[in-house]
Structure 1
Amino acid sequence: MGKGCIAATKYFLFMFNLLFFIFGAVILGFGLWVMLDNQKFITVLHESTTLKVGTYILIGIGSLSMLMGFLGCIGAIYEVRCLLGLYFTCLLLILIAQVTAAVLIYFQRDLLKYEMSTIVNKILVNYTGHNKTSEQAWDHLQRTMKCCGWTGPSNWTENVVINSQKNNSQILYPCSCKNESISGTDIKETGLCEALSPEWPVFTTGCISSVEDWLLRNCGVILGVCVGIAVIELLGMILSMCLCKSVQQEDYTKVPKY
């Protein structure tokens, strides 16, 4: 009966580590996507030191999770106590790091929001439509989210190009803000367009509201994924300790030789 329980624990731990390896690959992939994707809103925030550090932390956690999943599989199948103990310790450190990061983000949310606002306003003021990576990302966000500016279209009035053309009686507005339900002139995805009247044919909602609405709509999925990962980590810690206690002595002859 005891051997059967040990065998069940061993294979449950192996399956868990396989899932943990997959979760690590997902976290690593997400971190790489945040760092390399040039078409999404996250690119606009690449100028933020805080978010850059967060991206590297995600990549590090994903890589470490994959390594720990691999070590956990070997430790479980071959019943190597030192690997199981190392696996438990690293898993505990990862869980503590994740909880710490979540707490810091929660209590620093106002600072992050201010930093995001500063970055976006800088992009809007210096926007020229010359296909910079951050400008492309911001145009993509305004088109897909159907919003304009950070808090509203008035943020664009500080743009250097739009202000410089006022003396020539030329009224410019950001093309990616165009509300297609309103009759206007040019229909372009990027750059600045010319308006026929002082009233811009653009969306009136600021992108901060659209982003917050998106987060609220998807907060259940985000929280579910985070809680699921934490539960799996806790189960892995419990199973690794149970298996480690059941192993009577070290037997390094079980370790595969390559």
Structure 2
Amino acid sequence: MYIIFFTLLLLINRHKIERGLDEAVHQIILQFGADRREDRLMDRIQHSEKCCGSMGPADWLKNSYIISLNLTNPDVLPCSCFDSHLQGNSSWCSNLSQLTPPHSWGNGSYEQGCKQQVSDWLQENALTVIGMDLSLVLIQMMQMALTVQLYQAFGRRAGLKGVSPLEEEEEKRRRRRRRRRRRRRRRSPASRTMPSRFLITSTWVITMTTRTTIINP
């Protein structure tokens, strides 16, 4: 149930999450070039989704390194913004020969921004998470129904109305203990001789009392 709650929370706040992602991408673009983990993530997104920047290549004009070059056009971009590029020591590429050193050479920069791809990715994965949540809920409901059926079947097999299987097992133990006590009493010599001895003694007392009464009226 907590999974469904967080999924619904994700859907309700999807626009806030998208705005947060936009801000995160904006900060990555501003500070790109230090070979950070965020830079590598941005490179993977641009390379795999064939996009550049958030809204387009012009977003990279806000980068601190690009600003230092005093460029008015996005002629220098991350190498991941190009369809193909030569491997070099720099993470920046350009398709202009006069700007190539110390940058690598790139060919065919992507014109589409990554914002829509990131939004589509979020929506697709949200639907995937919802589907997984519904599957888990369905499995839990099936397990609950199976447990109830097994419990009912075991109760009918026990044949005791209103008695749980644990109570029935405890009742069986009591019966077995009572039967063992009865068998011990039957097997005990004292239990067999005491009634006969008591009967003989009682008969002898009655006989002697009768004789005394007859002799001494």
Q: CA deviation at 1:108?
A: 0.6
1:193 to 90, 93, 97: 93
Q: CA deviation at 1:170?
A: 10
Pairs within 5 Å for 1:155-170: 155-166=59-70
**Larger-Rg structure:** 2
Compare relative contact order (CA 8 Å, sep 6+) and give the higher one, 1 or 2. Answer: 1
Q: CA deviation at 1:137?
A: 1.3
Indicate yes or no: 2:92 matched with 1:175.
Answer: no
Residue-pair matches, total: 148
Q: CA deviation at 1:211?
A: 3.2
Query: Is there any run of 5+ residues in structure 2 with no aligned partner, and where?
Result: 100-106, 156-163, 170-217
Question: In proportion to residue count, which structure has more strand?
Answer: 2
Distance (whole Å) between structure 2 residues aligned to residue 244 and residue 134 of structure 1: 54
- Contact persistence 1:162–1:171 (CA under 8 A): no
Residue type matched to 1:208 in 2? Answer: K
2:2 is aligned to 97
Pairs within 5 Å for 1:107-186: 107-128=12-33, 130-166=34-70, 171-180=75-84, 186=85
Query: Is there any run of 5+ residues in structure 1 with no aligned partner, and where?
Result: 1-95, 181-185, 252-258
Q: CA deviation at 1:103?
A: 1.3
Pairs within 5 Å for 1:1-258: 96-128=1-33, 130-166=34-70, 171-180=75-84, 186-188=85-87, 191-196=91-96, 201-214=108-121, 223-244=130-151, 246=155, 248-249=165-166
- Give SS of 1:193's match: strand
Deviation per CA, 1:183-222, whole angstroms, max 9, x where unpaired? xxx5349711234189x94111111222344566677755
Deviation per CA, 1:66-114, whole angstroms, max 9, x where unpaired? xxxxxxxxxxxxxxxxxxxxxxxxxxxxxx2112111111111111111
- Give SS of 2:30's match: helix
- Contact persistence 2:57–2:74 (CA under 8 A): no
Gap change, CA 1:115 and 1:170, over 3 Å in 2 = closer
Alignment RMSD (CA, Å): 3.3
Deviation per CA, 1:22-42, whole angstroms, max 9, x where unpaired? xxxxxxxxxxxxxxxxxxxxx
Deviation per CA, 1:199-248, whole angstroms, max 9, x where unpaired? x9411111122234456667775554332222112212332344456462
Residue type matched to 1:187 in 2? Answer: L
Gap change, CA 1:217 and 1:208, over 3 Å in 2 = same
- Give SS of 1:179's match: strand
- TM-score norm. by structure 2 comes to 0.57
Residue type matched to 1:105 in 2? Answer: L
Q: Percent same amino acid at aligned positions?
A: 24
Residue type matched to 2:61 in 1? Answer: T
- TM-score norm. by structure 1 comes to 0.48
Distance (whole Å) between structure 2 residues aligned to residue 170 and residue 145 of structure 1: 19
Residue type matched to 1:117 in 2? Answer: D
- Contact persistence 1:178–1:203 (CA under 8 A): yes
Deviation per CA, 1:151-207, whole angstroms, max 9, x where unpaired? 22222111000110127x994211110134xxxxx5349711234189x94111111
